[in-house]
Amino acid sequence: MTSVVLESVSRTFGKAPAVDRLDLRLEEGEFVTLLGPSGCGKTTTLRMIAGLEQNDTGRIHIGTRLVSDPASDLFVPPERRGLGMVFQSYAIWPHLTVFENVAYPLRVRRVPEAEVKAKVEAALTLVEMNAFAQRPAPHLSGGQQQRVAIARALVFEPQVLLLDEPLSNLDSRLRASMGDELRALQRRLKISSLYVTHDQNEAMALSDRVVVMKDGRILQQGSPEDIYRRPANVDVAKFLGTPNLRRVRVRSASRVDERTYACSVVGEDGWMGTCRSAEAWRPDEEATIVIRPESLQVDTQRLAPDATAWRGRVVDNIFRGAHRSVVVDCDGARMTVETTGTWHADVGAELTIAADPNHVWALRA
């Protein structure tokens, strides 16, 4: 059974489409993240599902119910969609205690008081906030407020949980730990969840499926690793991480398996190497190859003989604690290598960097 379906959904503000004929499915129990830069339409999409925005065209289903269809003049208001939502600001009411904040969705639904007490206690226990039930909301830390917001969204047992950048106000350490807790909670409850973020690391760590958006449309969707390792185009590759990009021409291509081709390529400076691609190529077609910084190695003796290699000179060396960013100038093209923090090379040193061909990906230029 599908939890949420969007069919050719659009939303326009003025003359600019915020969301443009979007098709999206959220399966039952799935954690899906809408990922993209500011203004790509991800929050508008979430708000249309919630009923906080009304789509101009298309249809929105939640479970077996059609909740929005402008062509039929059908629009189910937010309070009747059975959704839980966690906002970026948490929207915790400062004049209420933790208990009363979480109880609010039940009180507006006129749930009997004994049931309110039991459900709120269960929700607070779920997020490990039961000891703070009578604490005034202003006396909570950012992480505690986020837990309260999640408990309030879950207390009435919604069909779907919507989360609009709920971790963005936390510091980096707390953000990572709360993200792990949120994912563990979602898996335990098996609740369908749609998450919005512009943070690529967050999207990859939390999601069953990532949907990359730009200009109101979906560029690519798939598992986090598939999106990262096999981007569909240069826009997706550049949004996920900071890849090295090189322009090349394809010399030949042969099928490896049903999803992959092996390509022989030559660079503008005459450099030659091998890589992988999702599509067939004709000889002499232009391509852009994507090499992730962590896929490049400086210990080239451990690589296979067919490794794709470059010779260059170190122009920058940035220590980042657990890892180190090394910038290498290869005949005028700068490439970044991510290596361990214990490895070191002086600026000006010459070295060879290389990558396994399986980690060099060719895309249409």
Report the phi/psi class of residue 18: left, alpha or beta, with left for phi > 0 and alpha for psi in -120 to 50.
alpha
pLDDT tens-digit profile of 141-193?
A: 888 888 899 899 999 888 899 999 988 877 888 788 888 888 988 898 899 99
CA–CA distance, 130 with 36 (Å, rounded to integer): 36
Number of neighbours of residue 264 by Cβ within 10 angstroms: 17
Is pLDDT of 46 > 90? yes
Residue 208, φ and ψ in degrees, nearest 5: -80, -35
**Section 314-343 average pLDDT:** 93
Is pLDDT of 220 > 60? yes
**What does the pLDDT read at residue 300?**
62
What DSSP letter does each residue of 34-75 carry, written as one string? EE-STTSSHHHHHHHHHTSS--SEEEEEETTEEEEEGGGTEE
Q: How many helices (H) and strands (E) does the chain have?
A: 8, 20
What's the chain's average pLDDT?
92
CATH class of 2-235: alpha beta
**Section 257-263 average pLDDT:** 94
Residue 281 contacts residue 287 (beta carbons within 8 Å): yes
**What does the pLDDT read at residue 15?**
85
Burial of 3 (0-12, 13-18, 19+ CB in 10 A): buried
30 alpha carbon, distance to own chain's centre: 14
**Section 31-45 average pLDDT:** 95
Is pLDDT of 1 > 60? no
Residue 278, φ and ψ in degrees, nearest 5: -90, -5
CA–CA distance, 313 with 309 (Å, rounded to integer): 13
Burial of 347 (0-12, 13-18, 19+ CB in 10 A): exposed
CA–CA distance, 225 with 129 (Å, rounded to integer): 34
Domain ranges of the chain: 2-235, 242-364
At position 293, the amino acid (one-letter code) is: P
Beta bridge pairs of residue 335: 328
* Strand 2-13 versus strand 57-62 pairing type: antiparallel
Cα-based angle 281, 286, 290 (whole degrees, multiple of 5): 90
CA–CA distance, 226 with 36 (Å, rounded to integer): 17
* Strand 308-319 versus strand 323-330 pairing type: antiparallel
**What does the pLDDT read at residue 331?**
85
- The 8-class DSSP code of residue 115 comes to H
pTM of this prediction exceeds 0.85: yes
**Section 10-18 average pLDDT:** 92
242-364: CATH topology: OB fold (Dihydrolipoamide Acetyltransferase, E2P) (2.40.50)
Least confident of 36-50, 236-250, 287-301: 287-301
CB within 8 Å of 289: residues ≥ 6 apart: 245, 246, 248, 265, 275, 360, 361, 362, 363
Residue 317, φ and ψ in degrees, nearest 5: -145, 110
What is the Cα Rg of the chain in Å?
Answer: 24
Residue 62 contacts residue 9 (beta carbons within 8 Å): no
